[in-house]
Amino acid sequence: MSLSRRAIPADAEELVRLRKVMQDSFLGPDPDVSWQPAAVTTLRDRLGDPAGSLTAFVVERPVEGPGGPGGLAACAVGTIEYRLGGPGNPEGTCGYVFSVATDEDMRRRGYSRACMEGLLGWFRERGVRKIDLRASSDGEPLYTSLGFVRTPDPAMRLSLQHRLGS
């Protein structure tokens, strides 16, 4: 029996709380939580569609803690992106893993591994052949043990800022 289960819309607030735990662990504490209500709404909507392209796997907290009664101890969130096919990936599907987090007091119990294994199974069921993620130094051993390898292509990003009057 697996420790993890697929997340449901009612898990949205806890998933966002765990996302902040993850962000604070590598970026440092940030008091800005203005993004959280929109993230909760998005997760509720997207998790409510079982055939959708986003899912999460979670492990429930075995005792009360930061998540409170019924809270979560760990999660892994992933999405399927659709691109043009190519060699080795004719369908053009690509999985992306993000928001893998475990509450600090719940670490080293296999919870993130259980969430990742559930998520990887979901990708397999959907025929996804290629899965990407960005690993922190703390997370890299887990991902390596699951078969992930470093890639030679560096990531780049452009942030388009909304400007008033534009």
pLDDT in tens, 85-133: 989 889 999 999 999 999 999 999 999 999 999 999 999 999 998 999 9
Q: Is the pLDDT of residue 59 over 90?
A: yes
158 falls in which pLDDT band (50, 70, 90)?
A: confident
With 0.85 as the threshold, say if the pTM is over it. yes
Beta strand residue intervals within 34-156, DSSP E: 54-60, 72-82, 93-102, 131-133
What is the arrangement of strands in the sheet containing 72-82, beginning at the earlier edge strand? 5-6, 54-60, 72-82, 93-102, 131-133
Mean of the per-residue pLDDT values for the chain? Answer: 91
Q: At a CB cut-off of 8 Å and minimum separation 6, what does 2 contact?
A: 114, 117, 118
pLDDT classification of 66: cutoffs 50, 70, 90: low
Per-residue pLDDT at 68 exceeds 60 = no
What residue segments make up the domains of the chain, in order of their start?
Answer: 5-145
CATH number for domain 5-145, candidates 1.20.1730.10, 3.40.630.30, 3.40.50.2000, 3.30.70.20: 3.40.630.30
| Res. 57 pLDDT band, cuts 50 70 90 | very high
